[in-house]
Amino acid sequence: MEAMTWTLDGLAEHESVIKGSTFLARAAPVADEAAALAFFAEVAVPDATHNCWAFRTGQRYRASDDGEPSGTAGRPILSAIEGQDFDNVMVVVTRWFGGVKLGAGGLVRAYGGAAAACLREAAKIERIETLPLRFHCPFSVYAQVEAKLPGWRAEKTLCDFDAQGAWLTVAVPVEEADMITEYLRDLTRGQMAISRPDL
């Protein structure tokens, strides 16, 4: 069983004031890099001193110091995301300079701390790695399959009805995929063709 990873259940924010500088951390769940950058565009404050950020989506991650000394803002934000086992998350920390320089160590603590506090206080949900299964579900067993989905932690992503039943695409947890495939085949005595379309 691999370590549990989390994503956010919605937007979160946390404000801290350190030696006169205000740090506003805002975090959001994101599906990919495009969504992360769209969130940044939405929350960045043009007249703030800095808008530093980091995101992680699966194997992809990026961080920006936005004019702060290299490695003092983006990396600590990313470390906060990774340190709390988050994935598919973008954090933007906006700073309004208060007149007192914090030094490199102070900046690392301020940015990392703001991001970590924001994520700690946020509502989070377990992130389950899924894969798609596509199959034709006859009307005779449709209700049965539909009733099983919550227990499987599976989500219906596509449903097209025809005269015999429904073409379903269901996102299922990776570790349950073989068991679910077997169940569906047994349900239709091996008649159901099940494919795993590449997303």
What's the pLDDT tens digit per position in 90-147?
Answer: 999 999 999 999 999 999 999 999 999 999 999 999 888 888 999 999 999 999 999 9
Residue 128 CB-density burial (10 A; 0-12 exposed, 13-18 middle, 19+ buried) = middle
User: Is residue 5 over pLDDT 70?
Assistant: yes
d(CA 77, CA 36): 14
d(CA 139, CA 144): 10
Looking at the chain, the whole-number percentage of residues with pLDDT higher than 70 is: 97
User: Is residue 198 over pLDDT 80?
Assistant: no
Please tell me whether the overall predicted TM-score, pTM, comes out greater than 0.75 for this model: no
Average pLDDT over residues 43-69: 97
Average pLDDT over residues 46-66: 96
Which DSSP symbol is given to 84? T
Residue 149, φ and ψ in degrees, nearest 5: -55, -50
Give CA torsion, residues 101, 105, 111, 116, to 10 deg. Answer: -150
The one-letter code for the residue type at 186 is: D
Neighbours of 87 (CB within 10 A): 19
User: Is residue 49 over pLDDT 80?
Assistant: yes
Average pLDDT over residues 13-21: 97
User: Is residue 43 over pLDDT 70?
Assistant: yes
